[in-house]
Structure 1
């Protein structure tokens, strides 16, 4: 590879981090479709921040169903000062799994950012349920390979430099009608867009996530991150990074999509980041 340059090097200041993983295959049978339950006792993290800041929480699993017609919901529940925000509910959740197919693991990732107070104890747990009442079973973990299933994990990173973390989210349900398959459109300019001005040159890490689905069989959904300002966009009308998801073969079957990229920025320049989407044109 080529020699590194200053643009290739950046520092992400994390003061605490922990990850808990299991390589077994949890099973949930008879979910009522509304009650969240712990996925596994080994998927719980307790932490006490040394200072005020933000906790970046993440969880991932390969989710699947034994019975067609059911998806799987996975979330991150938090207890501690100010949490849970709503009793019995996780702070963030995603739906995945593949409504139309059985024994077909789909990788799901859920992420959220929460404010935390120094000296206070918090616990983050990976929880799950079926998307509706299910007399059958849902599973986490693909494989096995050599007797081991794919890892299911929950993790946290504590960032105490408050200006370095910005998060925006929406619990609305967006829809895009008559996409031409090539034009990218903002998903929600107000709630899923942000502007910032770095105080120093460096590299930013930007991520976006959404549960994507279609009402018409035969179409997937693309989700991307666009940047304007400085030398961006790299290509006019195109996001800097994108992913495709949604489930080509099924309708009304949300699949968790996650897109992430790192980008160089200059001091004193204002940048605007937006979450965008489109319908793929390759159909």
Structure 2
């Protein structure tokens, strides 16, 4: 079965920041469809147990006060999200779909460890996790895209929605359910492009310089996942090279879809 058939679970988190090692989950969504199984959707609001910085609130509109008043305990939310993802993989064979989803999966992993809960990989107990990352696919397919404006990046979710003709709502954007569904729609559109004759595609797709959608054609889900590991590493190496023009010591993690866990050092800790 090629990768665009079967069940997908769209996954997104909104958080207190962008540091996967230290930031916390504020909201999460898992929306599962396809595979001949009933659609399911879950959305969670957590009290993260820390102040939500103003910069994060500006993005997802959730204040510390709202999270404390309406959110469930963070430990419960983290466990429920991990359990839902694991259940969709184990029981329905779902692929996990998202935009820059290695961030979400890594932060969820660290939250599970923070609360001494089984991680997603613990819960899968050796069952393969297959991931579809729209950021990785898009950058491989259209490697030369320039940012649309000073304010909007070339690989932002809104940019991909515009490129692939997916509806966008500025008011709803950065809500976890909206972003998860947008990523799933973009992934479907990329799959359609890969399996459509070039002359039948919209002009905006035909105008792409040296497109590489063909690389996604006729792959199984496992083959696509394996390919994304290589593509993500190549993309990280390219970004690192760019950063080193101004910072010779810049390092960009090449791991995908999960950054390696490093046990905190106990050297020098009190006995």
What TM-score, normalized to structure 1?
Answer: 0.23
Structure ranking higher in strand proportion: 1
What TM-score, normalized to structure 2?
Answer: 0.24
Structure ranking higher in helix proportion: 2
